[in-house]
Amino acid sequence: MGIRLDGIGKIFETDDLRVEALSGITAEVQDHEFVSIIGPSGCGKSTLLRLISGLIPPTAGTTFLDDVAVDGPTGGIGFVFQAPTLLKWRTVFKNVMFPYEVLASQRNATASKAEFEERAHKLLKMAGIEEFTHAYPKQLSGGMQQRVSICRALIHDPDLLLMDEPFGALDEFTRERMNEELLRIWRETKKTVVFVTHHIPEAVFLSDRVLVMSRRPGTILGEVEIDLPRPRLAEMRESVEFLDRVVETRHLIGLGSGAELLSEDPV
Amino acid sequence: MATDVEVVAPPSEPVAPPARRSIDRIRRFSDPLIFGVLITIGWQVIIQIFDFHPVVLPPPSRVWTVLSTQGDFLLESMLDSLDTIIRGFLYGSLFGWAAGVAITYSPIVRRAIHPILVALFVVPKAIFLPLLILWWGVGGFPDHKIVVTMLLAFFPVTENTIAGLSGVDREMTELSRSLGGSALFMFRKIALPFSLPFVLAGLRIAMTEAFIGTLFVEILVPNEGIGSRIVDAQDVSNTQFIIAAIVVIAAFGLAAYFLLQWIEKRLTKWY
Amino acid sequence: MVLRSDSVLKKPSTWPAELLRRLWNAKELILTLLAALIGWIIILEIQDYHPLVLPPPGAVWEYLVAEWSSLAKETLWSFYEMLLGFALGGSLGFAMAIAIFYSPFVHRAVYPYVFGFRVVPKVAFLPLFLVWFGIGLTVKVVMAGTAVFFLVLVQTHLGLATVDPSLVELGKSLKMKESLLLRQIRIPAALPAIMVGIKLGITYALTNVVVAEMVVATNGLGFLVVRARQQSRTDGIIAVIIVTAIVGILVYQLGRAVERRFTFWYFEERTG
């Protein structure tokens, strides 16, 4: 699914406060592309994701999904949040099947239960948590719960996957492993992915392009083309090309004016 | 007006310090027992020393006599009260829950009704009694005892229902909405199960309040129930009966509390 | 919520505007109360009840005006009894909670009984207290005190037991003596829970005082409502109910204000 953002702006207003979250966002994501959005806290990354999915309307500009203007929540989008947000009272399997229930509850339902169940089992197997199919979220670790969350986001076979700092709560080792798992799943399912993070190496490792956002009001400062070969392998994290891209991204964000600091005399 | 009345379920209180050694586990039972025995002995001793008239402070033996000889009578009276308590509890909780749902989902209802409900909670409900009796008499419909009990029981359920229903993760509702889920669907499949632990905790508090409500009506307007029998006993200075009755009430109150707690634990095992 | 000034605008507000805004936000409540008042009048028009059953709002108002000194005096009495009971029960409950916290023996031995008696409606003790204390001031103070005692005890104990362990470790690492640790770290950290107990305790104390007054019927708001009933003054009954309601609400707001004053930092964190 291709995405086109055209001059997107978003203002939140309450009785006594007026916040301009996003301003003048124009960008494009190609079909089957893996794009990361990186930026400081509070820059509106999450708001942007919700705008793309149609959950909230923009105050200015239009979002286009496959050249169709977005007018409200559309199906065909999978969401993964920072917290696994699983339904604690349901088993892993029933959690993954949740989107089926939502779709089936609507009047023009065409979802086939058998099809969904089959996909659920396949996804759980692909994510490597098949043996926990009938366990409860309480019994799973954070990383495993997040995998369930990813399966749930894929079960209705969406064309677009929106991920909002999904590995933010994990430790570094698990995060790296999950990155590799995610790429494997992406390779097998070929979705378009928009991935929000504020972990630069993660963004570089995963994506085709990295979009850098500014502080609030959020706008696109620039982008970094990640032309590293696919499939991305763990060793690539130590390659010169990888680190070059990381540095490039850091500079775009405004970090690492290391050159000036190092030249200071320590006296 | 106040919307944060903290009748919301408190975390479970530590009834005993953590048992670090196996001796502690035994002491969990033996210590209260020892303490109880000491108190009983002390009770007896104080009576001997101060030579209290048995009307003021009857010796433990007399209380025990009442419990054993008038056990059936005490039980029967308690069951009479329980009838009112349980009915008031059920109606009040149902109403409280419905109010909680309405308040959570309708800002208009919330702004209009919630302050009134909070006000009702902080007002001493006993003061309504003369008016209720004037309007509907004793033993008519609606039974003033049940009305007062309902008035006391509904509020914890309302507050906890609100807390439970509004505590749903925003992302969960967003997920549902992005797939086209209706509000009713989200309510049934997400909010309702999510709020279950909260509502159950609220019910536990409501049960305690129901006890309070029924009992104080029985004491203020003696008719049926163990509270009224206590007033009868007070009229003839039958102090040992009063103490015995209090023990019976405590026993039933505890039983109800633990029953509800057990139900809560069973239903929310995997939460 | 302090952010870059060019992306966040705090709209200016003057106090009359604030007041109007608050009134506007309470419009549904005001409308509901007005509707109740109008409903009252309409019912009387339709049904023509005997004033003994349902007096018109005007009669209630007249009663309030005529009897205001008596109402004020008895209100102060109730308030006084409640405060005494609150002070008594609160301090005892607080002290007991600390004893329970520091002595595992006391905890194991006593707490189950506390738990058991907490479930008993304190009203059940009223006849017993009447036998013991007669019908003077004492019995009302004790009634109020009992309610507050259990509440403050449980809440204080809960607060102390759930103090963030890292705060305690901080104190210990600074080699604080336990008495200082208690005063400077444990109790302040337990304050939110304790304040909840105080806020609810004040309300329960008032309830128990009113119940006691209704039985003993010598002074206080409870006495007033019983007397009005005996005099068959339904307008009086309703008037006293209204006054009691207002007192109850004020008492609760007082409790909340105290809570806010002592735990303002906690509130910031919660609503932020």
pLDDT one-digit tens code per residue, B133-178: 888 776 666 788 898 999 999 999 999 999 999 989 888 998 898 8
| Alpha-carbon gap, residue B6 to C160, rounded angstroms | 18
Rounded to an integer, what distance in angstroms lies between the CA atom of residue B1 and that of residue A111?
47
Q: Supply angle C-alpha A158, A164, A168, rounded to 5.
A: 130
CB contact under 8 A, A217 and C1: no
| Mean pLDDT of the region A240-255 | 85
- Report d(CA C137, CA C204) in Å as an integer: 18
What Rg, from alpha-carbon coordinates, does chain B have? Answer: 23
Residues paired with A225 in a beta bridge = A209
Q: Answer whether B178 sits within 8 Å of A156, measured CB to CB.
A: no
Report the alpha-carbon distance of residue B148 to residue C211 in Å, rounded: 13
Print burial letters for B75-105: b (CB count within 10 Å at least 16), e (below 16).
Answer: eebbebbbebbbbbbbbbbebbbebbbbbbe
Position of tokens 């208690």? Answer: C182
Q: Is A217 exposed, middle or buried (0-12, 13-18, 19+ CB in 10 A)?
A: buried
Q: Determine the residue of chain B that is closest to C257 in CA distance.
A: B2
CA distance C89 to C125: 15
pLDDT number for residue A201: 92
Nearest to B180 among A50, A98, A106 (CB): A106
**Cβ-defined contact of A16 to C8 (cutoff 8 Å):** no
Q: How confident is the model at residue A43 (pLDDT cuts 50, 70, 90)?
A: confident
> Helix crossing, B226-235 with B71-105: angle to 10°?
130
Task: Find the range with the poorest average confidence among B238-242, C11-15, C225-229.
Answer: C11-15
Nearest-5° angle of CA A207, CA A212, CA A213?
Answer: 135
Return the pLDDT at B28.
74
CB contact under 8 A, B180 and A83: no
Q: E strand or H helix at C230, and its extent?
A: helix C220-230
A16 contact residues in C (CB cutoff 8 A): 10-11, 13
Dihedral, B181, B182, B188, B191 alpha carbons, nearest 10: 80
Q: Is the peptide bond before B130 cis (omega within 30 degrees of 0)?
A: no
- Give the pLDDT band (50/70/90) at residue A174: confident
A192 conformational bin, left if phi > 0, alpha if psi -120 to 50, beta if neither: beta
DSSP per position, A206-236: H-SEEEEE-SSSB-EEEEEE----SS--GGG
Mean pLDDT for C109-137 is 84
| Cα C133 from chain centre | 25
Q: Nearest C-alpha of chain B: how many angstroms from C9?
A: 25
| Parts of chain B with a pLDDT under 50 | 1-7, 9-11
The answer to whether the beta carbons of residues B177 and B186 sit under 8 Å apart is yes
Neighbours of C21 (CB within 10 A): 13
**Given a cut of 80, is residue C46 above it in pLDDT?**
yes
Q: Which of C111, C199, C241 sits opposite B127 (nearest CB)?
A: C241
- Inter-chain contact C199–B249, Cβ cutoff 8 Å? no
Question: How do residues C164-186 score in pLDDT, each as one tens digit?
Answer: 888 888 888 888 888 888 888 88
Q: What is the pTM of this model?
A: 0.83
In the numeric block, which tokens belong to residue A243? Answer: 């680190």
DSSP A56: S
C22: contact with A, CB 8 A cutoff: no
Task: Work out the angle between the directed axes of helices B71-105 and B144-166 (0-180°, nearest 10).
Answer: 40
Give the C-alpha separation, B239 to B59, whole Å.
10
Q: b/e string for A168-195 if b means 16 or more Cβ within 10 A?
A: bebeeebbbebbebbbebbeeeebbbbb
What one-letter code names the amino acid at A58? P
In B51-70, the residues whose Cβ lies within 8 Å of chain C are: 55-57
Q: Can you give the three-state secondary structure of chain B, one letter per residue? A: CCCCCCCCCCCCCCCCCCCCCHHHHHHHHHHHHHHHHHHHHHHHHHHHHHCCCCCCCCCHHHHHHHHHHCHHHHHHHHHHHHHHHHHHHHHHHHHHHHHHHHHHHCHHHHHHHHHHHHHHHHCCHHHHHHHHHHHHCCCCCCCHHHHHHHHHHHHHHHHHHHHHHHCCCHHHHHHHHHCCCCHHHHHHHHHHHHHHHHHHHHHHHHHHHHHHHHHHHHHHCCCCCHHHHHHHHHHCCCHHHHHHHHHHHHHHHHHHHHHHHHHHHHHCCCC
Tokens of C236: 């009086």
* pLDDT of res. B13: 56
Q: Do C117 and B250 touch (CB under 8 A)?
A: yes
Q: Which of B161, B152, B148, B146 is nearest to B99 (CA)?
A: B161
H/E stretch holding A261: helix A258-262
Reported residue count of chain A is 267
Q: Which of C113, C210, C215 sits opposite B127 (nearest CB)?
A: C210
- Per-position DSSP letters for A9-35, written without gaps between them: EEEEE-SSEEEEEEEEEEEEE-TT-EE
* Residue at C12: amino acid letter: P
Which amino acid appears at position A168 of this protein? G
- The C-alpha atoms of residue B43 and residue A66 are separated, in whole angstroms, by 84
DSSP C12: P
Higher pLDDT, A24 or C14: A24
Q: Give the best residue of B169, B170, B174, B175 to mutate against chain A (max A CB count within 10 A).
A: B175
Q: Which residues of C touch B122 (CB under 8 A)?
A: 203, 248-249, 251-252
Query: Greater confidence, C243 or C271?
Result: C243
pLDDT tens by residue, A50-65: 888 888 888 888 888 8
Of the candidates B217, B190, B197, which has an alpha carbon nearest to the alpha carbon of residue B270? B197
Question: Is residue B117 within 8 angstroms of chain C, CB to CB?
Answer: no
Q: Is the pLDDT of residue C251 over 80?
A: yes
Q: pLDDT grade, residue C24 (50/70/90)?
A: confident
In whole angstroms, give the CA distance from residue B84 to residue B221: 14
What is the Cα–Cα distance from C209 to C220, expressed in whole angstroms?
A: 8
Measure CB to CB from residue C245 to each of B16, B27, B123 and give the nearest one: B123
Of C267 and A168, the structure prediction assigns the larger pLDDT to A168
Q: What does the pLDDT look like over A81-98, one tens digit per residue?
A: 888 889 999 999 999 999
Interstrand relation of A34-38 and A192-197 (parallel, antiparallel or unpaired): parallel
Average pLDDT of the residues of chain A? 85
pLDDT for position A256: 52
**B 139-198 residues with CB < 8 A to C:** none
Q: Which of B179, B180, B193 sits opposite A89 (nearest CB)?
A: B193
Average pLDDT value for residue range A1-12 = 86
CA distance A214 to chain B (A): 24
CB contact under 8 A, B130 and C226: yes
Residue B124 contacts residue C213 (beta carbons within 8 Å): no
Confidence grade of residue A258 (pLDDT, cut at 50, 70, 90) = very low
- Predicted pLDDT of residue A215: 79
C26 touches chain B (CB under 8 A): yes
Q: How many residues does chain B have?
A: 271
Q: What is the largest CA-CA distance in chain A?
A: 74
- Residue B36: strand pairing partners: none
Structure tokens at B251: 């026993």
Interface of B with C in 226-245 (CB under 8 A): 227, 230-231, 233-234, 237, 239, 242-243, 245
CA distance B253 to B243: 15
Residues in A touching C17 (Cβ below 8 Å):
none
Are B214 and A136 contacting, i.e. CB atoms less than 8 angstroms apart?
no
Tokens coding B270: 């995997």
Considering only residues 15 to 44 of chain B, which have any Cβ-Cβ distance to chain C shorter than 8 Å? 15-17, 24, 27-28, 31-32, 34-36
Q: What is the pLDDT of residue C114?
A: 84
In angstroms, the CA C212 to CA B216 distance is: 10
The whole-angstrom separation of Cα A194 and Cα C265 is 39
Q: Which two tokens stand for residue A217?
A: 């009001």
Q: Across the interface, do A89 and B196 touch by the CB < 8 Å criterion?
A: yes
Mean pLDDT of C28-34: 89
| Nearest CA among B169, C184, C236 for reference residue C227 | C236
- CB contacts, 8 Å: A17 with chain C: 1, 8-11
- Asked if pLDDT for residue A68 goes beyond 50, the answer is yes
Closest by CA to B179, choosing from A79, A150, A70, is A79
DSSP C168: H
Q: Do C9 and A17 touch (CB under 8 A)?
A: yes
| C9 interface with A at CB cutoff 8 Å | yes
Read off the pLDDT of each residue in C227-249 and give the average, rounded to a whole number: 91
Q: Could you say which of B7, B14, B111 has the minimum Cβ distance to residue C26?
A: B111
What CA–CA distance (Å, rounded) separates B202 from C119? Answer: 15
Mean pLDDT of chain C: 85
Over range A207-226, report the average pLDDT.
86
Cβ atoms of B86 and B153 within 8 Å: the answer is: no
Tell me the chain A residues in contact with residue B189 when contact means C-beta distances shorter than 8 Å: 98, 101
Burial class (CB in 10 A: 0-12, 13-18, 19+), C257: exposed
